[in-house]
Amino acid sequence: MTEGYTKGEYCVIEEGAVIGKGCVLGHHVVIRAGTIIGDNVRIDDFADIGKQPMKAALSAATDAKKAEPARIGSGSIIGTGAIIYAGSVIGDNVLVADMATVREDTEIGEKTIIGRGAAVENHCKIGARCKIETNAYITAYSVIEDDCFVAPGVVTSNDNFAGRSKERFGAYRGVTVKRGGRIGAGAVILPGRVIENDGFAAAGSVVTKDVNKEEIVAGNPAKKLRNVPSQQLLKNQD
């Protein structure tokens, strides 16, 4: 027992890190300088909390400046091998599952689940009570509001120029999923597209246009299939 929390073997806790009461750290956990961790947080083996971002020569979405320390809310669980970058803010009672990555300058609301192997890129905001399932990819500059669902294998994108021409540096746009929006397994959402409240992009769809409120779209390119059944609307949930 150390300072009100427990830790496994070979942990590294850098200078200025603050770890709350009742926390449990697994083996080989790294807590970077200045990181703030709330009470009763569980961090499993080989997790890295507060890692500074790397700036590649051709990166347009990563800043060269040093990011602020990461913050992990009370009651959260960080899985084995997960990486939480500096500059990220994780709310209370969040689950970041094994091998998931949360990049810098990203905010995740309370009780949200980031699934196994999911990648949340930088400059994203994810609301409360969301489910971002296994191996989903949330591109930089995206906004996902409260109570949204992103199924396994979903891919989002933010670059209409596919990495070519200088225009792309000023034109990055992530995706926006409004409150209650849902995306089915393996769907692809193109840059800047908006899924409105309770909108649903069906499994395997390629979303090239905005999805209207309470509407289901499907296909490639995705087109309206029907309206979301009333019993499935967020306002009608218990």
Contact 72, 79 (CB under 8 A): no
Confidence at 1, pLDDT banded by 50, 70, 90:
very low
In this structure, are 106 and 38 located in the same domain? yes
In this structure, are 164 and 86 located in the same domain? no
Expressed as residue numbers, the domain containing 71 is 1-52+67-114
Number of domains in the chain: 2
The residue to which tokens 């995740």 are assigned: 108
Residue at 187 is within a domain: yes
Across the range 156-162, mean pLDDT stands at 84
The residue to which tokens 């591109």 are assigned: 139
In this structure, are 101 and 156 located in the same domain? no
CA distance 50 to 193: 31
In this structure, are 92 and 143 located in the same domain? no
The CATH number assigned to the domain holding 95 equals 2.160.10.10
Residue at 119 is within a domain: no
In this structure, are 163 and 104 located in the same domain? no
Residue at 150 is within a domain: yes
Residue at 37 is within a domain: yes
Residue at 181 is within a domain: yes
CA distance 225 to 177: 19
Q: What angle do CA 58, 89, 35 make, to 5 degrees?
A: 90
CA distance 166 to 160: 12
The residue to which tokens 């997960």 are assigned: 82
What's the pLDDT at 66?
Answer: 87
What's the pLDDT at 238?
Answer: 75
Whole-prediction pTM value?
0.93
Token readout for 124 is: 């994203």
The string of pLDDT tens digits covering residues 113-130 is 999 999 999 999 999 999
In this structure, are 140 and 109 located in the same domain? no
Contact 218, 227 (CB under 8 A): no
Residue at 57 is within a domain: no
In this structure, are 179 and 226 located in the same domain? yes
In this structure, are 161 and 215 located in the same domain? yes
In this structure, are 107 and 152 located in the same domain? no
In this structure, are 10 and 109 located in the same domain? yes
The string of pLDDT tens digits covering residues 181-220 is 999 999 999 999 999 999 999 999 999 999 999 999 999 9
The string of pLDDT tens digits covering residues 14-54 is 999 999 999 999 999 999 999 999 999 999 999 999 999 98
